[in-house]
Structures are given as structure tokens and as C-alpha cells.
Amino acid sequence: MTQAEQDIVQTIAAEVRRRLGGDGSGHDWWHVFRVWNTARTIGAQEHADMFVVELAALLHDVADWKYHNGDESVGPRVAREIMQAQSVDAGCMDHVCDIIATISFKGAGVQTPMKTLEGKVVQDADRLDAMGAMGIARAFAYGGHKNRALYDPDNKPTEHMNKEQYFSDNGSTINHFYEKLLLLKDRMNTDAARALAAERHIFMQQYLERFFKEWNGEM
Ligand code: ADP
Ligand code: NI
């Protein structure tokens, strides 16, 4: 990256931090901060264009459509405004907006393919933050925010075949592990992310094993 690009990244990081400060549902600045760091690690190993990777990581949740009545155009639009204010070139801007528009998980049976290496890197980084110790913490934080049970033995997980089904499900947070978190390992786009995902996956499996033992009073 050039010095000018690094300066733009820092300015946009400060702007995103200002906008996302303090959110208890898992979409806070620190989620973005972790995705940014992980995207840098993966992106370097995959030889991606780091200016695009860093901007997309920083801007990927700046206006999540799930919090704007399902309007999927808000995220890319706000991201574009922020980049325009820093005179990011049009090609980069289009690329970043395209990544933001297609990054989200929409259910087990719904494919969300990324077209470019940079998109793959950022999607992997975002998904890694839903796995491992971090992912467990975020899942229960989100479940609490939505008033959901930790676990309900009478309500089994389902593999959602479309996004309407996925987003209207009110099941327990443990179900979310089976509906999304444990599926992520096999959906990584890059080798660098696959290696990180494998470890985070094992940690979640061990966690669940222990959760059920404690639930049943066996431990
Ligand atoms: P992304 O936008 O990165 O695809 P989401 O916005 O869907 O991710 O989810 C943000 C965080 O909240 C993730 O860690 C995700 O696993 C968690 N989450 C989403 N839906 C649920 C749910 N039904 N129960 C528990 N956690 C959830
Ligand atoms: Ni995210």
C-alpha cells in the first residue's frame, strides 16, 4: 500500500469507530477491528490487494441491512459515502461496495459466493469471528439481545433453505451452532482461513460436548 492509501485506511478506521461505538449485539467496533486484523493476516498470505481488503473489512458492517428493515442497499451506500469523502478511486470503491453487498451468511442452504480474492479474504475473516471463543461469546450475546434461550431440548435445529426461513427462526442459541457456526469450517474460501477455521471449529465442538455434559449433570 502507498502512504496515501495507508492514510485513507487510518482515517476511515477512525470514522467507522466513531459510527459503531458501543453496540451490545455483536456488531460493535471491536468486531470490525478483529475482522480487520484477521483480514490483514489472511490477505497477506493470499497476496491480495490490501487496500481493497482493509477498506472492505472496515466498512463491511457500517450499516448492516438486518438493522435497516432488510434493506440490503444501505450498507454499500453508506460505505460509498465514506469512501467518497476520502476520494478513493472509483474502481476500488465499486470493488469494496460489491464485497459488502454479498458478504453475509443467509442460511445453511443459501450460497453466497464471492467473486474476487479480496472478497473471499474479507468474507473468511468475518466468518472466522463467528467461530471459536470469539464466536461463542458473540452467539450468546446475540441470543441475549434477542431474548432467546441458551438451549431448549424440545426445539431441534433446522437447516434453513432460504434466508426468510433463516432470519425468522427464534430457536435457541445452541441451535445456532448447528445452523451456522459448525458449517463455517467447510465454507472457507482461502487456505489461510481454512487452517484458522479448523482450530476454531475443534474448540467449538469441545465447548458443545462440555455444555451438554454439564446440562445433563454429568460433569
Ligand atoms: P454476518 O453479518 O457477519 O454474516 P451476523 O450479522 O449474521 O453475521 O451475525 C453476527 C453475530 O451474531 C455472529 O457471531 C453470529 O453467529 C451471531 N448470530 C447471528 N444469528 C444468531 C442467532 N440466531 N443466534 C445466535 N447468534 C447469532
Ligand atoms: Ni461482520
Q: How far is the CA of 178 from the centre of ligand 1 (A)?
A: 13
pTM score, two decimals? 0.90
Summarize pLDDT for 2-59 with one digit per residue, the tens. Answer: 999 999 999 999 999 999 876 555 468 999 999 999 999 999 999 999 999 999 999 9
Range of the domain at 116: 3-215
Residue ID of nearest Cα to ligand 1 atom 7: 105
Give me the pLDDT at residue 219, please: 85
Q: Is 143 in the pocket of ligand 1 (CB under 6 A)?
A: yes
Give me the pLDDT at residue 164, please: 78
Residue ID of nearest Cα to ligand 1 atom 25: 139
Give me the pLDDT at residue 23, please: 56
Min mean pLDDT across 71-80, 200-209, 210-219 is at: 71-80
Tell me which residue has cell 450468546. 140
Q: Is 135 in the pocket of ligand 1 (CB under 6 A)?
A: yes
- Region of residue 64 (phi > 0: left; psi between -120 and 50: alpha; otherwise: beta): beta
Summarize pLDDT for 140-162 with one digit per residue, the tens. Answer: 999 999 999 999 999 877 777 78
Residues with CB under 5 A from ligand 2 (ion): 61, 126
b or e along 114-145 (b: 16 or more beta carbons within 10 Å of the residue's beta carbon)? bebbbbbbbbbbbbbbbbbebbbebbbebbee
Question: For position 32, which CATH number holds?
Answer: 1.10.3210.50
Domain count for the chain, please give it: 1
- Mutational pocket test of ligand 1: of 180, 182, 204, the residue with most ligand atoms within 8 Å of the beta carbon: 180
- Region of residue 126 (phi > 0: left; psi between -120 and 50: alpha; otherwise: beta): alpha
Q: Is 104 in the pocket of ligand 1 (CB under 6 A)?
A: yes
